[in-house]
Structure 1
């Protein structure tokens, strides 16, 4: 997972993967079938870890939608800033690491996962509308797209070496665009 996360799909070789895992290429293929299947398994593990560590912040009871996003964004900035490899988000890193023609269909997989995160953002905003802390007239889809785009851009900033505090400032700036209740 970490190799794909740091280097992207195309730039990660089978020999690097076998060395990292400590198995031979035939053993790797016997378990996973292909490099693409291994990538999909690594991506699934990354998403499960993200949901476990960060996703629950949006669902936390007793927080307004804005406060839930503040908590999520704080955790994301800390995570991106602490990561010694400055990898950012695997869903963005895999794309920016290059996907050649042989793996072009993985763009659809990555895009679907990013769309799923955006949908989760939208659901939390809509929950805020139902609970009265987000104005009913707010375009939940547009706000969710904006916030997910900021997080994706933050991932690129992290890959470029930005630490946690500059990332937090970007997120604080983004939250200033939060519509009044």
Structure 2
């Protein structure tokens, strides 16, 4: 929500400025981006930044929400819309290969990479992104547990290890994208990763 201001109306488009801030954080990470970097990227003055977005951390949190809403939404859709855990993971990893390599945007996933190598001063920022990532892994695990109970996946499936493995592959794909891996390479990685998943029992698959 925009901060209410008195006096002269804001002379910049808030959503455009937020998009530019998001890209700066996405490309360089939370700590590496200074207020001066942000004002240059957003093409506004520091007082306007503080008035519209609050401090740097508040701006980052809003940028993360914008990223999740505009670029990371495929994650929630894959995990919630696919009929089984295995197909959710397959969709998640293959759509990540596309999302991590979109032309004209920073490479990789902002939620994975934007708070790496942070100092203790940014511990709360790091923790907030860790919670987001762990929430995704927990949701994958819950889908696996459900499918094991329903007989869709084998009874001896290690739901926790398989979910963590899938999260690790997803995070690794993000880093590989930042290191220059292209979409085809990441799609091949997704194919290999899915071989670690046990096959579904065809007769028990949901219609």
Q: TM-score, normalised by structure 1?
A: 0.88
1:54–1:110 CA distance, 2 compared to 1 (3 A): closer
Runs of 4+ in 1 over 4 A off after TM superposition: none
- Of structures 1 and 2, the larger Rg is shown by 2
Task: Tell me what 1:103 maps to.
Answer: 122
Deviation at 1:179, TM superposition (A): 1.9
SS state at 1:81 partner:
coil
Tell me the residue number matched to 1:179: 198
Aligned CA distance change for structure 1 residues 84 and 132 (closer, same or farther; 3 Å):
farther
Equivalent positions of 1:48-67 (< 5 A) are: 48-49=69-70, 52-60=73-81, 63-67=83-87
Higher relative contact order (CA 8 A, sep 6+): 1
Asked whether the 8 Å contact 2:101–2:107 carries over to 1, the reply is no
| Structure 1 vs Structure 2 CA RMSD | 1.9
1:83 to partner: Cα distance: 4.0
Give the TM-score, by structure 2 length. 0.78
Q: Given that residues 157 and 198 in structure 2 are in contact (C-alpha distance below 8 angstroms), is that contact kept between their aligned partners in structure 1? A: yes
Q: Is the 8 A contact 1:86 1:158 kept in 2?
A: no
| Aligned positions, number | 179
Instruction: Give the equivalent residue in structure 1 for 2:54.
Output: 33
Could you report, residue by residue, the CA deviation over 1:4-57 in whole angstroms, capped at 9, with x for unpaired residues?
A: 011101111212212222321111112222111111111122223356333112
Q: Deviations over 1:75-116 (max 9, x none)?
A: 1101112244452111221133x3133213322111111111
**1:90 alignment partner in structure 2:** 110
